[in-house]
Amino acid sequence: MYTLTPILTALGTDLWSAAAPAPKGADFSQETWWISLIKALIIIVVLILYVLLALWVERRGLGRIQTRPGPNVRGPFGLLQAVADAGKMVFKENFRLKGADTLIYLISPMLVAFTAFAIYALIPFGPNATVFGISTPLQLFDSGVATLIVLAISSLGIYGIVLGGWSANSPFPLLGSVRSTAQVISYELAMGTALVSVFIMAGSMSTSEIVEAQKDPSWLLGLLPAFVVYLIASFGETNRLPFDLTECESELVAGHQTEYSGMNFAWYYLAEYINIFNVSAVAVTMFLGGYKAPWAWDLMNPVTGSPWWGILWFNVKVWSLFWIFVWVRGTQVRFRYDQFMNLGWKVLIPVGFVWMMAVAWIKALPVFFGFNSQQIMFAVAGVCVVLLIIVMLIPVKKVKPVAPEPFDPMADGFPVPPLPGQELPPSPRSGLLKVTPSTPAETAITGGKEEK
């Protein structure tokens, strides 16, 4: 029992309370219904504008990566290309297969889009600010279990993908939805272990309180492995390259979206990009200080402490993470399904669990032994850097060459090209192989003469 005491301590017992006061979160005491309504409308409009801008940024960025201009005709620098595409999609015909379940087929895309919009309601963009003489936090909603609500809402979105693929009554959408289920189960667990490390470090699951707990510039040092696990898992959560196995064009046409068109397809498309901003906003809130300015900037510019500056810093961090998604899409290839599952279950989940226990011990050490928390963080960061260097210096295991499989080029009497790993036998004309024609095809190849 004594061994578990540090872990229970870090998770919220009286010893934790004695070690550090609980961070103060958002204050909604003066909130009114019409201010909440205005904030909700602003979030919806801003997210839609974000998607339009993100499409332009991604296409221009991929163009630069692939040495081509990207969109450059509609509007200045091609900025209106995304607007033109959105207008075209809205007016396209909506069709469905004859055997599709109509109600579920129509509701599924809306469910995915609704859950995508809902997550941003729990993200703090700044501290309390004065609006029309009323003090209100720059956040729509907060709770003592806000982060768990975020995970729950993101899990609900998968139902829209599964039901959409199933209700289309088509093989490719069904395969894509089944893949999506396995993908979310694997990578949401890894993402959850990374977020538990944050809960332990902050002593709270409220998003605003977690941001307030990140005043110490060494915050990210102790959570760096958890941040890496979360970042990799977010690619699987959003079905983006290199983990876009639910809609990979080379195998499933478009996965669960194959039988959708017009506005129904637009809901899925909109939700995909909003979910990228969702995982980026959660990463900024949990690991990168949220709306707080970088520590060095605060020392140089105290004026950035104004609550309205928090919106700027928050968006700079979110768009920086969005660019990582674009960069990975332009430079990486898709994982095979077995590689994808091995990474999730054999690497990310074990690392997440191990680091979760390590963070619990890190929080318990100052209570039992009186160590300074900053010293512990820097020591842990140094150990992580050393381990990373060691891993990079380990030589890559060479794969032993495999002898080519025996191959019959005239299987079933027809010439068959070799597959990868197979080798053609010597040509009969080389004099190295004796061939006796036994089929019309072989007789035609040898010219009707037996090789001697």
- Angle among Cα 93, 257, 333 to the nearest 5 degrees reads 130
Please state, as a whole number, how many other Cβ atoms lie within 10 Å of the Cβ of residue 375: 12
Query: For residue 83, what is the enclosing H or E element?
Result: helix 81-90
> How many angstroms separate the CA atoms of 281 and 279, rounded?
5
- In single-letter form, the type of residue at position 229 comes to V
For residue 403, with 0-12 CB atoms within 10 Å meaning exposed, 13-18 middle and 19 or more buried, which class applies?
exposed
> What are the residues facing 422 on neighbouring strands?
405
What SS3 state is found at 424?
coil
Q: pLDDT value at position 50?
A: 92
Q: pLDDT value at position 332?
A: 83
Q: pLDDT value at position 250?
A: 74
Closest CA to 380 of 355, 350, 352: 355
Give the total number of structural domains in the chain. 1
Query: For residue 131, what is the enclosing H or E element?
Result: strand 126-131
Give the relative orientation of helices 309-331 and 262-287 as an angle to the nearest 10 degrees.
120
Residues in the chain: 452
408 near 418, Cβ under 8 Å? no
Please state, as a whole number, how many other Cβ atoms lie within 10 Å of the Cβ of residue 413: 10
Closest CA to 47 of 315, 324, 325: 315
Q: What are phi and psi of 127, to 5 degrees?
A: -75, -170
- In single-letter form, the type of residue at position 339 comes to Q
Q: Return left, alpha or beta for 262; rule: phi > 0 is left, psi -120 to 50 is alpha, else beta.
A: left
Q: pLDDT value at position 12?
A: 42
Determine, yes or no, domain membership for 130: yes
Determine, yes or no, domain membership for 377: yes
Query: Could you tell me which residues come within 8 angstroms of residue 323 by beta carbon, excluding any fewer than 6 positions away?
Result: 57, 61
Q: pLDDT value at position 131?
A: 79
DSSP designation for 20: S
Please state, as a whole number, how many other Cβ atoms lie within 10 Å of the Cβ of residue 150: 25
Place of tokens 């509609």: 74
Query: Could you tell me which residues come within 8 angstroms of residue 322 by beta carbon, excluding any fewer than 6 positions away?
Result: 54, 57, 276, 277, 280
Determine, yes or no, domain membership for 316: yes
Determine, yes or no, domain membership for 398: no
Q: pLDDT value at position 204?
A: 84
Query: For residue 138, what is the enclosing H or E element?
Result: strand 134-138
DSSP designation for 97: -
Q: What tokens does 451 get?
A: 């090789």
Determine, yes or no, domain membership for 193: yes
Determine, yes or no, domain membership for 176: yes
| pTM of this structure | 0.77
Q: What tokens does 380 get?
A: 């842990």
Per-residue pLDDT 10s for the chain (452 aa) are 334 334 333 444 333 333 445 556 666 777 788 888 988 899 999 999 999 899 889 888 888 888 888 777 777 887 888 888 888 888 887 777 777 778 888 888 888 888 889 998 899 887 878 778 788 888 888 888 888 898 888 888 888 888 888 888 888 888 888 888 888 888 888 888 999 988 888 888 888 888 888 877 677 777 888 899 999 999 888 888 888 887 777 777 777 788 888 888 888 888 889 999 999 999 999 998 888 887 666 655 555 556 778 888 899 999 999 999 999 988 888 888 888 888 888 888 998 888 888 888 877 777 676 666 666 766 777 777 787 788 777 776 776 776 666 666 766 667 777 776 666 666 666 665 555 555 554 554 455 554 44
Query: Could you tell me which residues come within 8 angstroms of residue 99 by beta carbon, excluding any fewer than 6 positions away?
Result: 169
Determine, yes or no, domain membership for 235: yes
Q: pLDDT value at position 427?
A: 67
> How many angstroms separate the CA atoms of 96 and 107, rounded?
13
Alpha-carbon radius of gyration of the chain: 28
For residue 433, with 0-12 CB atoms within 10 Å meaning exposed, 13-18 middle and 19 or more buried, which class applies?
exposed
Determine, yes or no, domain membership for 64: yes
Q: What tokens does 226 get?
A: 């958890």
> How many angstroms separate the CA atoms of 448 and 430, rounded?
17
Domain that holds residue 104: 33-393
DSSP string computed for 292-350: PPPHHHHHH-GGGGSTTHHHHHHHHHHHHHHHHHHHHHHH--PPPHHHHHHIIIIIIHH
Q: pLDDT value at position 451?
A: 46
